[in-house]
Amino acid sequence: MAQPSFEEPTFFARSLGYLGLLPFVIPTLLLVYDAPHTALWLHFLMTYAAVILSFVGALHWAFAMTLADLTLNQKRWGFAWSIIPALVAWVALFIASFDGMLVMAAFFAGNFMQDAYLAKTVGMPNWYMRLRFHLSIVAASCLIIAAALTLYH
């Protein structure tokens, strides 16, 4: 059996990434179809978004530690950036749901831009950036949709 090339995502990595979207998609759908439990679905969505935003930020800590091609300033920025999404997500949990979800959606986009910059600087597998793009779009979209739905509940 041939090993997957560096440029092709494994089925396992893709599956885990896309399965990780379920806690974004399901509460967002339930906001539409189960309005009596809006507070519960918002709580599930926002807390999961905070966890995942912390995770994608923390990847930059690992990149700063392990990517030999980074300059000292790039490594310092990677370490610094790695904690910013977690801190922002934590604060977003304490502000109004509408504003908190928009802040987290913006930081999913911002973190993707950091990933894209890093990918251009040191190179990343193409599959990784495609996957990160898809995951970021769905996560941010669910947060924006849910924020809009809070205006009607």
pLDDT tens for 33-59 read 999 999 999 999 999 999 999 999 999
Which residues, at least 6 apart from 107, have a Cβ–Cβ distance to it below 8 Å? 53, 85, 88, 89
| Within-domain flag for 6 | no
Residue 36's domain comprises: 16-150
Question: 80-89, 120-129, 132-141: which has the minimum mean pLDDT?
Answer: 120-129
Number of domains in the chain: 1
In this prediction, residue 8 carries a pLDDT of 63
| Within-domain flag for 75 | yes
**DSSP string for 38-78:** HHHHHHHHHHHHHHHHHHHHHHHHHHHHH-TTS-HHHHHHH
In this prediction, residue 123 carries a pLDDT of 80
| Within-domain flag for 1 | no
Q: What is the mean pLDDT of the chain?
A: 92
| Within-domain flag for 47 | yes
pLDDT at 113 over 90: yes
Instruction: Give percent of the chain above pLDDT 70.
Output: 94
pLDDT at 112 over 90: yes
pLDDT at 150 over 70: yes
| Within-domain flag for 100 | yes
| Within-domain flag for 10 | no
User: Which pLDDT band holds residue 64 (cuts at 50, 70, 90)?
Assistant: very high
In this prediction, residue 10 carries a pLDDT of 79
Residue 82 corresponds to which tokens in the numbers above? 């790695």
| Within-domain flag for 5 | no
User: Which pLDDT band holds residue 121 (cuts at 50, 70, 90)?
Assistant: confident
pTM exceeds 0.85: yes
pLDDT by residue (tens digit) across 77-103? 999 999 999 999 999 999 999 999 999
Residue 152 corresponds to which tokens in the numbers above? 């009607």
Q: Which amino acid is at 139?
A: A
| Within-domain flag for 9 | no
CA distances from 29 to 36, 59, 67, 89, 91 (A): 13, 29, 39, 22, 25
